Amino acid sequence: MDQSVGIVTTEYATFDVELPLESGRLLGSPLTLAYETYGCLNSSRSNAILVTHAWTGDAHAAGKHTPDDRKPGWWDDMIGPGKVLDTDRYFIVCSNVIGSCGGSTGPTSINPRTNRPYRLNFPVIMVRDMVRAQKLLIDHLGLDSLLTVIGGSMGAMQALEWGVLYPETVRSIIPIAGTGRTSPMAIALNALARQAIFNDPLWKKGNYKPEHPPAEGLALGRAVGHISFLSDASMNLKFGRRFSARDGMFDFFGQFEVERYLEYNGRNFIDRFDTNAFLYLAKALDLYDVAWDFANREEALSRIDCPSLWFAFSSDWLYPPQQSEEMVTLLKKLDKPVEYHLIDSDYGHDSFLIEPEKFTPLISAFLDRLATS
């Protein structure tokens, strides 16, 4: 029977280095990464798996921090004894990316040059920068190789970058609900979220007080993003055209249930995420292109030496299946070992979080094959 990893603690690794960024700027020193680990490293140090998180995720992927926590980590369905990322077999690492607000260096951190929070003085980062920072952590943990790097959405981008940047380290990658480059539509949706925040008078060009964030703008920005994580089918299943029971249908300010849901989701979000961090990570998503600093995508993908396992979801309209299929086609053209599965799901982009049971057997089989190869 599947079990939990139990009570876990977030750890912090701080590096006395300046990290060169794709923008040409340097980040740090010091540079801090928050991370959690689950399971034990085997004697040959060959069973390590790196889990990479999505846009507003963090290092807390499994278990609970206290017995009273209402919810476990964001991928608890996947990580634990007897689960697909079996902590009886594997040593799992999950780190919070730079630019975020989950304990790693980001816009809320203290700028060592000024002794004040970075805010908008924090440099623009790219997904590739996140991965280079993760490599510092993996080296710090004494891991010469990773059995796989697995993640969904922005996590899929990181997994792909690991394959491109560090082919000598990764033995496989598993990008889930990802893309090789962000589409104009996805960028447009993030632009709306940005404008919602910029138009909030409390944003103050990023110089808001933490106790008085631009709550209205961030809640609306999150709602715009959240719509892209859903699908028409999932909205019909969850809400239909039901009108809120607390409102009159002909009350001008009355709301449908889907409206109340978006409002509730946005309000909860402002309590756990920093506005500037939200903006910096959105910019990193917009800038993502695996071909960055290469002649084209083929040149970038030619660096991948390991097997890759790709998943896309039928109702995902943020990173639709054809975007994963483009990558798979190019990898096949380059004669790289690649496996692809299109999963039928009504839950849109969030399918990888909501219905893991639809694809976890395929991951287990893939990892089993790696272990015997």
Asked if 288 contacts 181 with a C-beta cutoff of 8 angstroms, the reply is yes
Task: Tell me how far apart the alpha carbons of residues 324 and 343 are, in angstroms, rounded to a whole number.
Answer: 12
Sequence-distant (≥ 6) Cβ neighbours of residue 246 within 8 angstroms: none
Helices (H), 206-274: 215-229, 232-238, 257-269
Which amino acid makes up residue 124?
Answer: V
Q: Is 153 a catalytic residue?
A: yes
Task: Tell me how far apart the alpha carbons of residues 305 and 170 are, in angstroms, rounded to a whole number.
Answer: 9
Task: Tell me how far apart the alpha carbons of residues 54 and 160 are, in angstroms, rounded to a whole number.
Answer: 13
Task: Tell me how far apart the alpha carbons of residues 18 and 189 are, in angstroms, rounded to a whole number.
Answer: 33
Task: Tell me how far apart the alpha carbons of residues 167 and 96 are, in angstroms, rounded to a whole number.
Answer: 22
From the candidates 4, 100, 153, 324, give the one annotated as an active-site residue.
153
Q: Is 25 annotated as a binding residue?
A: no
Mapping DSSP to helix (H, G, I), strand (E, B) and coil, where does residue 38 land? Answer: strand
Mapping DSSP to helix (H, G, I), strand (E, B) and coil, where does residue 129 land? Answer: helix
From the candidates 53, 60, 226, 349, give the one annotated as an active-site residue.
349
Which helix (H) or strand (E) segment is 196 a member of?
A: helix 184-198
Asked if 61 contacts 75 with a C-beta cutoff of 8 angstroms, the reply is yes
From the candidates 58, 200, 316, 346, give the one annotated as an active-site residue.
316
Rounded to 5 degrees, what angle do the CA atoms 291, 295, 299 make?
70
Q: Is 140 a catalytic residue?
A: no
Asked if 281 contacts 55 with a C-beta cutoff of 8 angstroms, the reply is yes
* 18 bridge partner residues: 28
Which tokens in the block code for residue 63? 């278990």
Task: Tell me how far apart the alpha carbons of residues 367 and 373 are, in angstroms, rounded to a whole number.
Answer: 10
Asked if 174 contacts 85 with a C-beta cutoff of 8 angstroms, the reply is no
Q: Is 222 annotated as a binding residue?
A: yes
Q: Write out the catalytic residue numbers.
A: 153, 316, 349
Q: Which residues make up each annotated binding site for substrate?
A: 222, 350
